[in-house]
Structure 1
Amino acid sequence: MRTIRLHADLPFAVGAEFVLPPDAAEHATRVLRLPAGAPLVLFNGDGCDYAATIAAIDKRTVRVQVAAREPVHNESPLPLLLAQGIARGDKMDLIVQKATELGVAGIVPLLTERSEVRLDAERAAKRLAHWQSVAISACEQSGRARIPRIAPIQPLAAWLGGLADDGALRLALLPQAEKTIGALRFCAAGGVLVIGPEGGLGETDTRALAQHGFHGLRLGPRILRTETAGLAALSALQACHGDLATAGG
C-alpha cells in the first residue's frame, strides 16, 4: 500500500492533534479522498517524518493525530547549491522538481547576461512561491524530510557579491572548461554549481565568476540544454561524490 506523505508547516509533536493548513487539508480529502481514520505521514522540513492518523473531517477543517516521530536519514553527504539561470516557460518547474529529487540543498534563480526572462516584483514573488511549492511536492514524492530553499530571484553580480566564503567548491558548467567531475575534491561544505540560461553564460558572466573563485566544469563532449545540463551535472556529482554511488536502487 502506498504511503501518503504530506507537508504541513506545523510544529508537530507526538501525541498532539493538529489542524492541517487549508492546502494540505484539501489535498488529503478532495484529491486523495482520505477518510477519517486513514493513516498518513506528515513532515514539516525539520528532518523527521511523523506517523499520523486523520482524526476528524468536517466542512472547514481536517484534524490529525500524531502517533510517532522518526528521523529521516536520506540527505546527501554532498551538499550542493544549484545556481540556475532562469529558464523560460515550464523548464524551471522541471529543474526545481528534479533537482530536489536529486538531493540538492538549495536553488538560486539567477538573472544573467543572456537571460531572456524578465519579471517585475509581483510576478517574481509569485514565481518564487510557485517554485517553493514545486520543491515541497518533490519532497513529498521522493521521501525527503528537508526542503531545499529557493532563494529570491537575483542578478548574478548581486548574488556573487553576497556569496559566503564557507569553503564550498565553486563550479560553473562551461563547454570549453577542462576540469572534469572525477577530478574534483570536495570538503564538508560541498559545492556550488552555476548553470547558464538557454543562451549559456556570457563573457561578462564568466569573467565575474572567475573573479569570485569559480572553476569551469566540463560535463562531456556535447552541448546540453539548460534544463538538461544542471540535472545531468547534479546526477554525475552525486554518483561520483555523493550518495548515488552507494544507493541500493
Structure 2
Amino acid sequence: MTIPRFYHPGALTPGSETALPDNAAIHASKALRMQAGDEAILFNGDGQNYLSKITSIRKQEVRVDILEAQPCQTESPLKITLAQAISSGDRMDFTIQKAVEMGVSIIQPIASQRSIVKLAGDRAEKRREHWQNVAISACEQSGRAYIPSVAPAIGLPEWLAQKPEADAYITLAPDAPTALAQTSPPGNNICLLIGPEGGLTDHEIELAAQHGFALVRMGPRILRTETAALAAIASMQALWGDFTR
C-alpha cells in the first residue's frame, strides 16, 4: 500500500514532532481518514523523504513524529528549464502540473506577443504563487522531493537577454528542418522555449534563434501549447533522460 505523502514547508528533523499544515491535515483526517499510528511521508523540498507516524488527530490538528530521513531517487538526470509562454484558462496549470510530473527542474512563465493573459503587479505575483502551489501538489503526487521553482513572469526579449546557462537551447517550429529525435544528444542542462496559443511570432522565433535557440519539429502536426511542452519533455526524457529506466 502506498504511504501518503504531504508537503511540509518547515524544517524536518528525525526524532522531532511537528504538526501537518492545515490543508494536509484536512486531507489526512477527512479525505484519507488516517488514524493515530498510521505512517506518512513528509517532504520539504530538500531532496529527502521523511518517514513519519501520526501521533494524534484532534479536530483540525494532525501531529506526527518524524522517524527517519530517506533518500529520494526520483529526479531526472536532465535539468530542463521550461520557458513557457503564458496560456489562458487552465492550460497553464495543466502544463505546469504535468511538466513537474515528468521531471522539469525550473518553470519560467513568459509574456509573449500572442499571450492572451496579461499579468502585472500584485496579480502577477498571486498567479506565480498559485503556479508554485500547483508545482508542489504535483511533487506530492509524483513522488518528487525537490520542488521546481516557478519564476516571476517576464517578457520574452528580457528573458532572452538574461537566459540561464544551458548545454542546449531548443524551441519548436512545425516547419523546422530537424526533428527532435534527429538532434545530437545534448548535455544534461536543457532550456526549452514553448510559445502560447497561436505560437511565437516570426520576430520572436528569429530573436530566439539569435540567442542560440535551435528550431526543431515534433512530427508533421501543429500541437497546442500545452501539448507541445509535454510532448517535448516526454521525448527528451525518452531520448536522453530516465524514461528508459
TM range (shorter): over 0.9
Give the TM-score taking structure 2 as reference length.
0.95
Cα deviation for residue 177 of structure 1 reads 1.2
- The one-letter amino acid of 1:58's match is R
Is 2:88 the counterpart of 1:88?
yes
User: 1:174-217, CA deviations, whole angstroms, 9 ceiling, x for partnerless residues?
Assistant: 112122222232124x2000010001000221122112111111
Task: For residue 171 of structure 2, give the secondary structure of its aligned residue in structure 1.
Answer: strand
- The one-letter amino acid of 2:131's match is W
Identify the residue that residue 71 of structure 2 maps to in structure 1: 71
Cα deviation for residue 45 of structure 1 reads 0.9
Q: Distance in 2 between matches of 1:145 and 1:135?
A: 11
Cα deviation for residue 35 of structure 1 reads 2.1
Cα deviation for residue 32 of structure 1 reads 2.4
Stretches of structure 2 that go unaligned for 5 or more consecutive residues are none
Cα deviation for residue 14 of structure 1 reads 1.1
Q: Distance in 2 between matches of 1:241 and 1:73?
A: 17
Identify the residue that residue 41 of structure 1 maps to in structure 2: 41
Q: Distance in 2 between matches of 1:31 and 1:208?
A: 49
* Number of aligned residues: 244
Is 2:221 the counterpart of 1:222?
yes
Q: Distance in 2 between matches of 1:129 and 1:204?
A: 31
CA RMSD of aligned residues (A): 1.4
Q: Distance in 2 between matches of 1:153 and 1:224?
A: 23
Cα–Cα, structure 1 residues 85 and 167, in superposed 2: closer, same or farther, change >3 Å?
closer
Identify the residue that residue 175 of structure 1 maps to in structure 2: 174
Identify the residue that residue 198 of structure 1 maps to in structure 2: 197
| Residue pairs, 1:54-65, within 5 angstroms | 54-59=54-59, 61-65=61-65
Identify the residue that residue 135 of structure 2 maps to in structure 1: 135
Give the TM-score taking structure 1 as reference length.
0.93
Q: Distance in 2 between matches of 1:121 and 1:94?
A: 23
Spell out structure 1 runs of 4+ moving beyond 4 A: none
Further displaced range: 193-202 or 34-43: 34-43
Task: For residue 204 of structure 1, give the secondary structure of its aligned residue in structure 2.
Answer: helix
Contact between 2:174 and 2:222, CA under 8 Å: does it hold in 1?
yes
| Residue pairs, 1:229-248, within 5 angstroms | 229-244=228-243, 246-247=244-245
Q: Distance in 2 between matches of 1:32 and 1:124?
A: 34
Contact between 1:7 and 1:43, CA under 8 Å: does it hold in 2?
yes
Cα deviation for residue 60 of structure 1 reads 5.1
Contact between 2:84 and 2:108, CA under 8 Å: does it hold in 1?
yes
Contact between 2:25 and 2:60, CA under 8 Å: does it hold in 1?
no
- The one-letter amino acid of 2:62's match is V
Task: For residue 231 of structure 1, give the secondary structure of its aligned residue in structure 2.
Answer: helix
Stretches of structure 1 that go unaligned for 5 or more consecutive residues are none
Identify the residue that residue 124 of structure 1 maps to in structure 2: 124
Contact between 1:113 and 1:204, CA under 8 Å: does it hold in 2?
no
